[in-house]
Amino acid sequence: MAPLEFGLDTFGDITRDESGLRTGAQVIRDTLEEGILADQVGVDYFGLGEHHRPDFAISAPEPLLGALLARTGRIKGGTSVTVLSSDDPIRLFQRFSTLNAIAPGRAELTIGRGSFTESFPLFGYDMADYEDLFREKSNLLHRLLTEEKVSFEGRFTPKLSGVTVWPRPEAPITVWRGVGGSPQSVVEAAAAGMPLMLAIIGGDPARFAPFVDLYRRTHAQIGTPVLPVGVHSLGHIAPTDAEAREEFFEGYRKMHENIGRTRGWSRLTREAYEAEITHGALHIGSPETVARKIAKTVKALGLSRFTMKYHTGAQDYRSNLRNIELYGTQVIPRVRALLAG
């Protein structure tokens, strides 16, 4: 099992201050400073999600990743996740080859089908092709990553005949496969030689153990070494459990309500919220409480990386910096101590 890494990620949720909601441009600038702080306090990875909605500021992660990687010297940066179905694999390969030239070995990519679908009509794709788009584009990306001269033809891809795409990466680009709950995706990740990133945003994380087992059994059956497994979950840290629960609830409730209108979600009650903290995937509380829950998740699934989405909904932007500092200076050392003990 690879050494345990600790990450943070964000979708650039629109935050607020004493004047109200902050602009998307300000949130992007805030996010850059948050990533720099994460590097300073010892976080291993900083991820940026791609969305095309008014409640999230980050639609193009790579320019922001470039700024972060150029201003830091240690932390890895990547996407959480890239919606490959509505992207161009060739341009994506070029963007990450460029990022890896800026920061060798530190630019990572996580691909997935995406749980939000706004990018499909925005870029002229039909939702009826949801599965076919991802299958074809992931096949092309795999070829680009493993072959210098690529020949390829598909339904959505112009014919390529022995094409070399520039710039060439000096070292392999790490590409994770983001999975929400599909066994087929788990098998595909193992077959493609991609580390597995499980998005666990509800329910007991231990229920994902069969997915991890399937991933490792697939590697064993095809005779390839098992690659890292990571988890992305939501979290919020404050000096006390009560403060953390109170600070997080209202922004989380509004986000749940906003997204739930189009997905048929039931109204989030305070009781359900508290139950999700106690028994589910929300890592919310004091540094000690959050550390113990992360350690439990890591042990249950045998993880190589745990990544916490450190703000959700219209939280006060100042709490993001405190979240990051507590995570790096108190939570990470405590989790390592708990696992060692």
Pairing of strands 229-237, 107-112: unpaired
pLDDT on residue 1: 63
Averaged pLDDT, 263-270 = 87
Average pLDDT, the chain: 95
The 10s digit of each residue's pLDDT in 91-101 is 999 999 999 99
* pLDDT for position 145: 96
pLDDT tens digits along 184-201: 999 999 999 999 999 999
User: Which band of pLDDT confidence, cut at 50, 70 and 90, is reported for residue 261?
Assistant: confident
Per CATH, the homologous superfamily of domain 5-340 is: Luciferase-like domain (3.20.20.30)
Q: Tell me how far apart the alpha carbons of residues 234 and 324 are, in angstroms, rounded to a whole number.
A: 13
Q: What is the pLDDT of residues 47-87, one digit of tens each?
A: 999 999 999 999 999 999 999 999 999 999 999 999 999 99
* Strand (E) or helix (H) holding 218: helix 209-222
Domain boundaries, the chain: 5-340
What one-character DSSP code corresponds to residue 219? H
Q: What is the pLDDT of residues 124-145, one digit of tens each?
A: 999 999 999 999 999 999 999 9
Which pLDDT does position 234 carry in this prediction? Answer: 97
**Token duo for residue 231:** 């988890």
pTM: 0.96
Q: Please name the residues in contact with 100: beta carbons below 8 A apart, sequence gap of 6 or more.
A: 106, 107, 169, 170, 171, 173
Query: b/e for 110-125, b at 16 or more Cβ within 10 A?
Result: bbbbbebbebbeeeeb
